Amino acid sequence: MLIFHNPVHDKHSGRHEMFRGKLVPCHETPARLEYVLEALKQRGIGELRSPAAPDMALIKRVHAPRYVDFLESAWREWVALDPANAQLDVLPSIWPVRGFRHDVEPTNFSARVGLFSFDSGCPLTAGTWEAATAGAACAIEAARAVSAGHGARAAMALTRPPGHHAGADFFGGYCFLNNAALAAQALRDAGAQRVAVLDVDYHHGNGTQSIFYERGDVLTVSVHGDPTTEYPFYLGYADERGQGAGQDCNLNLPLPAGSDFAAWTRALEQGMDAVRAFKADALVIALGVDTYEGDPISKFKLKSADYLQVGRMLAGLGLPAVFTMEGGYAVADVGVNVANVLEGYAG
């Protein structure tokens, strides 16, 4: 197992997020990754590597160029409006919802923030661009390492901010660049004819689904909390099966809040059956451990020991695999839970 670690992830460190009408401290913090890194080192799991420079051409194939350009310049524009803004984070406050135009990019900064986002809980900070692009580099390098045939059947992009809520041209849900989608595209570019993305985060991977929804070469599968009650609410339903060339290449397996490991395992097995039926050549696992019973913002009931079995189940697919780090907000337990998945996977 190769571990591509983002050495600048902590440069993205949001002060607050908007939640239920008030600003609260961010749940997505640099400490999340530090606990994982420490747990992996203690157990001797994986070979730690730093990524190369991000492949911007690949990033701009998965994400809309105007969106990528906005992310790259957003902090500079924010501070240029008022130097005092350097002490604040960027949070959107207006969005072009139904009936509004999305094709025209306004010059007003606040309007552009809203055009390229879908919630107010995802602060953009001074270090967001650097951290997000380094994370994207981790995902791309992990995919290329697995594809190179040098003995690595699995690799992990150990990075934050996470990625699976980011769409081709929008951020939200703590996510800016979609690491799972970038890894999947890198696997395709390296020769995999069919790639499966299996998302086991508590929250539906709406960004990944939307990026590949009309493609037949990438299967997207997500096991997650029922969107009638759980974030991101507006995607993740079982009747979303793909469109056009992507018809029947999207599988959502929503579960009610409070689901235990037995129910979750049955859904995962159904998702794995879909991966096998798709005859995927390679696999991306969007690994969120916010399915944990102690997670403060999620409502499944998995225990730390269960993640060993999760890893064993995923290994049973027998595919070259890239893990991307997604959610998990019981900070002190995130490291144990991720390490358990990888230990179980390694057998």
Q: What is the pLDDT of residues 15-49, one digit of tens each?
A: 999 888 889 999 999 999 999 999 999 999 999 99
- The verdict on residue 235 lying in a domain is yes
Vertex 282 angle, CA 277 and 288, to 5°: 95
Distance CA 69, CA 60 (A): 9
Distance CA 24, CA 19 (A): 7
For residue 203, indicate whether it is catalytic.
no
Name the one residue in this structure whose structure tokens are 């993740």: 236
User: How many domains would you assign to the chain?
Assistant: 1
**What pLDDT does 21 receive?**
86
Domain with 234, as residue range(s), is: 2-54+129-346
- The verdict on residue 318 lying in a domain is yes
- The verdict on residue 231 lying in a domain is yes
- The verdict on residue 81 lying in a domain is no
Give the list of residues 6+ apart from residue 313 with CB closer than 8 angstroms, or none: 265, 268, 269, 272
Name the one residue in this structure whose structure tokens are 């696999």: 283
Distance CA 319, CA 339 (A): 20
Axis crossing angle, helix 331-346 with helix 306-315, rounded to the nearest 10: 40
Axis crossing angle, helix 128-147 with helix 65-81, rounded to the nearest 10: 150
- The verdict on residue 77 lying in a domain is no
**What pLDDT does 150 receive?**
62
Both tokens of 9, joined, read 């992830």
| Catalytic residue (one of 9, 63, 165, 224) | 165
- The verdict on residue 308 lying in a domain is yes
Q: What percent of the chain has pLDDT over 70?
A: 99
Output 72-77 pairs: Cβ under 8 A, ≥24 positions apart: 72/129, 74/112, 74/113, 74/124, 74/128, 74/129, 75/124, 75/125, 75/126, 75/128, 75/129, 77/109
User: Is the Cβ–Cβ distance between 218 and 184 less than 8 Å?
Assistant: yes
Distance CA 103, CA 108 (A): 15
Q: What is the pLDDT of residues 229-270, one digit of tens each?
A: 999 999 999 999 999 999 999 999 999 999 999 999 999 999
- The verdict on residue 117 lying in a domain is no
- The verdict on residue 319 lying in a domain is yes
Q: What percent of the chain has pLDDT over 90?
A: 97
CA-based torsion, 198, 207, 24, 135: positive or negative: positive
Predicted structure pTM score: 0.97
Closest CA to 165 of 208, 128, 120: 208
Q: What is the pLDDT of residues 170-194, one digit of tens each?
A: 999 999 999 999 999 999 999 999 9
Both tokens of 33, joined, read 């990754």
CATH code, domain with 34: 3.40.800.20
**What pLDDT does 106 receive?**
96
